[in-house]
């Protein structure tokens, strides 16, 4: 079966890590067809806009995109292209796995294997009610939590647990202080959890969660939380397993899903062949899971892990002297 995916090569190190990722995917003979589309600076130069209509049409048609990091130039009408994509396709679930890998700078070499499921559309990020008083002394914004938004993200987390055989979902909140917003999220989460009796559910206040993550990360399996807490916690988790070079992420909605590396465009090393392609490769593995191809996703992850274990052609950020290309070739050779 041929599956067409939209491929966005992006800016900075984006094209290099995308070439590496497609090289590895090609070695797997997955029957994927790539439809290239532009976004970010590359699109601005070619089409005169950061997020061209044909890119949105391509994602809408294929429903799946693999995306490299993008540059949003200051003062071009978007606060962030990534946020614009999330809004356009209502990509409500931000899913970020954090797993310890061999020969990386993980603080916990064998202990971390968790997924953060962050609500991606509500809370403090709705962009409403941002005011600053004339004297510059008082600022405010609106945080909005809805039953619908809470229900669909918590359901996503429990369905993910069911699908992947994970055993526990931790609902992270601050309902003791944010009684209305976080309170509603927690109330709805409890109702949803009751529908999944085979999956353990516990609740944890966000500040305690941060401490627990750093002290005993192995107690977590799936974390589900609201937008701002999820933003912070998912980067904390990336730090637990060795930094952003190994952290993939997915933005998932009912009509489309976009898979990516969590890191940015790394302009300091762009064009030098030094970029580590692992995060985007692991994003591609998430994409295969989403396409209901879990064996192939596992095959890809196993090849990445075996290459890290063998210290074969690792890029400089991992302490090696390989290049983006030779590292990708070493991974592909294990498939």
Q: Which member of 266, 281, 285, 314 binds ligand ATP (CB under 6 A)?
A: 266
* Identified catalytic residue from 11, 38, 231, 312: 231
Is 311 one of the catalytic residues? no
CB of 140 to ligand ATP, least distance (A): 28
* Identified catalytic residue from 67, 125, 221, 274: 125
DSSP reduced 3-state for 20: helix
Is 174 one of the catalytic residues? yes
CB of 319 to ligand ATP, least distance (A): 12
Q: Is residue 275 at the binding interface for ligand ATP, with CB under 6 A as the rule? A: yes
Site string for ligand ATP, 295-324 (x = CB under 6 A): ----------------------x-------
Q: Is residue 283 at the binding interface for ligand ATP, with CB under 6 A as the rule? A: no
Q: Is residue 74 at the binding interface for ligand ATP, with CB under 6 A as the rule? A: no
Kindly tell me which of 71 and 182 has the beta carbon lying closer to ligand ATP: 71
**Residue labelled with tokens 């918590």:** 154
**Residue 150, exposed/middle/buried by CB under 10 A (0-12, 13-18, 19+)?**
buried
Backbone angles phi, psi at 67, to 5 degrees: -130, 130
Helices within the chain (DSSP H only): 14-27, 41-47, 53-62, 81-89, 147-164, 181-193, 206-215, 227-240, 278-290, 294-309, 324-332
Q: Give helix 53-62 / helix 81-89 axis angle, nearest 10°.
A: 50
Pairing mode of beta strands 248-252, 257-261: antiparallel
Q: Which member of 91, 223, 269, 291 binds ligand ATP (CB under 6 A)?
A: 269
- The stretch near ligand ATP (CB under 6 A) out of 36-44, 93-101, 275-283, 285-293 is 275-283
Interatomic CA distance for residues 231 and 215, integer angstroms: 20
Q: Which member of 14, 69, 248, 322 binds ligand ATP (CB under 6 A)?
A: 69
Is 125 one of the catalytic residues? yes
What DSSP state is assigned to residue 144?
B
Is 196 one of the catalytic residues? no
Q: Which residues are catalytic?
A: 125, 174, 207, 231
């Amino acid at each position: 079966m041929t599956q067409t995916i939209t491929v966005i090569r992006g800016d900075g190190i984006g094209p290099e890590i995308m070439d590496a990722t497609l090289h590895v995917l090609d070695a797997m003979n997955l029957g994927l067809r790539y439809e290239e589309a532009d976004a970010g600076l590359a699109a601005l130069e070619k089409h005169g806009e950061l997020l061209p209509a044909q890119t949105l049409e391509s994602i809408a048609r294929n429903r799946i995109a693999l995306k490299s990091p993008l540059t949003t130039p200051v003062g071009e009408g978007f606060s962030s292209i990534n946020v614009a994509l999330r809004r356009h396709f209502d990509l409500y679930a931000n899913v970020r796995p954090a797993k310890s890998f061999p020969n990386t700078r993980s603080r916990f070499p064998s202990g971390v294997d968790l997924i953060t499921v962050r609500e991606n559309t509500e809370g403090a990020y709705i962009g409403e009610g941002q005011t600053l008083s004339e004297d510059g002394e008082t600022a405010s914004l609106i945080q909005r939590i809805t039953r619908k938004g809470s229900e669909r993200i918590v359901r996503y987390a429990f369905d993910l647990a069911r699908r992947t055989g994970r055993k526990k979902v931790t609902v992270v909140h601050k309902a003791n202080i944010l009684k209305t917003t976080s309170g509603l999220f927690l109330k709805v989460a409890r109702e949803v959890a009751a529908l999944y009796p085979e999956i353990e559910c516990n609740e944890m206040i966000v500040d305690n969660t941060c401490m627990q993550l750093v002290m005993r990360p192995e107690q977590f399996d799936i974390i589900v939380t609201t937008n701002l807490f999820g933003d912070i916690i998912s980067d904390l988790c990336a730090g637990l397993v060795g930094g952003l070079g190994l952290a993939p992420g997915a933005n998932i909605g009912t009509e489309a899903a976009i898979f990516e590396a969590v890191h940015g465009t790394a302009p300091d090393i762009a064009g030098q062949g030094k970029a580590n392609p692992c995060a985007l490769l692991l994003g591609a593995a998430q994409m295969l899971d989403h396409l209901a191809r879990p064996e192939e996703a596992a095959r890809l992850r196993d090849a990445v892990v075996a290459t890290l274990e063998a210290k074969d052609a690792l890029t400089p950020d991992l302490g090696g002297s390989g290049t983006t290309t030779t590292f990708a070739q070493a991974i592909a050779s294990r498939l």
